[in-house]
Amino acid sequence: MNEDYIQRINKVLLFIDKHLESDLSLESVSNVAFYSPFHLHRLFKAITNETLNAYITRKRIEKAVYQLLHKKDLTISEIALQTGFNSNSSFTRTFTKLYGMSPSTFRKTTTKKISKIGKTDSKNGKADLISQEYLCNIIHLKTWINMQAKIEIKEMPKLNLAYITHIGVNGLEDSFERIVKWARPKGLLGADDATIVRIFHDSFKITDEHKVRMSIGVSTTHPIKPEGEIGSTTVEQGKCIVGRFEIEPKDFETSWDGLFIWMNEQGYKKAERNPYEIYYNNYKEHPLKKCIVDLCIPID
């Protein structure tokens, strides 16, 4: 794929992230990419495997799902406006098409499920099997965190990143290798303040794993000028829950789940900023093939 194409789509993806509540018509977004609407439509689908409209709709609905679950003070109408829908009816219609129920029903159903966790069935005295499995998993995750992680609340600095966009769970190692291959001859690796970082723009709990977008990058002293497939972005300064782990690649999902359980039990609330990872070694060079990594959850 032409590197100029990737560079412009990176710019479009960042623009969409920051303007979900605004007008994101094909015409307006094509102006950001400096392409004709027809060209952008074809190019965006080729790179992301989604049409521009489908991608924007999915991102808006997924943001709404997060707010329905975690922003109980917001009304359905407020959520509709904050996620770029022109009306409550338009939002409800789109949400129902994707989730099979209205936003209000979704909020009530999920709240009810959470409130029933661990309770027994009053009719027959038997515990709900799903609830039992859920509780066992929670206990496992809490044990994992206690054994594997050193957790701190830290004010994390702003990070400038040169990054590659990666979508989905396949081919991740190749993206890590490409950013390292780009950074090494420029002297960016090996410096005291240079680290490999992965930012998650979607949640695996909400987004299909093959559509989750990540930025895999290397920290730089100053913002860089985009170069081919290499984009430039920042991780904003802010307070984070930081879990230091020494784990095998297969243990990342368990570690993230456990860290979010810890966050909830300690009464912290995730901020709107994206979670990210900071790597401190090449796991292939570790005697036990483990990653030394900080998992960072931004909090309010």
Q: Which CATH number characterizes residue 19's domain?
A: 1.10.10.60
Residue 152's region, left for phi above 0, alpha for psi from -120 to 50, else beta, is: beta
| DSSP classification of residue 267 | T
pLDDT above 90: percentage of residues in the chain: 64
Give phi and psi for 234, each to the nearest 5: -135, 150
Give burial (CB, 10 Å; 0-12/13-18/19+) of 235. Answer: buried
Q: Based on the structure, what is the number of domains in the chain?
A: 3
- 274 and 156: one domain? yes
- 267 and 168: one domain? yes
Structure tokens at 4: 């100029």
Would the pLDDT of 121 be above 60? no
Residue type, 118: G
Give this prediction's pTM. 0.82
Domain span at residue 36?
3-111
- 155 and 294: one domain? yes
Predicted pLDDT at 1:
57
Would the pLDDT of 137 be above 80? no
- 293 and 237: one domain? yes
- 245 and 226: one domain? yes
